Amino acid sequence: MAAKKKAASFESALEELEQLVERLESGDLPLDEALADFERGVKLTRECQQKLASAEQKVKVLMEEGGKVQELPFDAEDDFSGDAE
């Protein structure tokens, strides 16, 4: 259950970041609000990057075989193309 909470936290942070970007791109914010949104966006970006780095490290540990980490190339298009092997 803890892993699910972390995933939801990442997703909610990413969603909030996307909303902030839309607000900032609109150009209709007063300077103070735009600066506050920008600061929040930087914080969210750092949080998301840390969570992704942590997830990457966990995957590397899980991929470890015989004391050696086997890094496999990841191509999202290949993995989600719908082709079954």
In a domain, 55, yes or no: yes
3-state secondary structure of 33: helix
Asked, for residue 59, whether it belongs to a domain, the answer is yes
Q: Which of 2, 5, 4, 6 is nearest to 52 (CA)?
A: 6
Q: What is the CATH number of the domain that holds 55?
A: 1.10.287.1040
Residue 14 lies in a domain: yes
Residue 20 lies in a domain: yes
pLDDT digits (tens, 9 = 90+) for 1-37: 455 555 568 999 999 999 999 999 998 999 999 999 9
75 domain residue, yes or no: yes
Number of other residues whose CB lies within 10 A of the CB of residue 48: 17
**Which residue range is the domain that position 20 belongs to?**
2-79
Q: How many domains does the chain have?
A: 1
* 0.85 exceeded by pTM: no
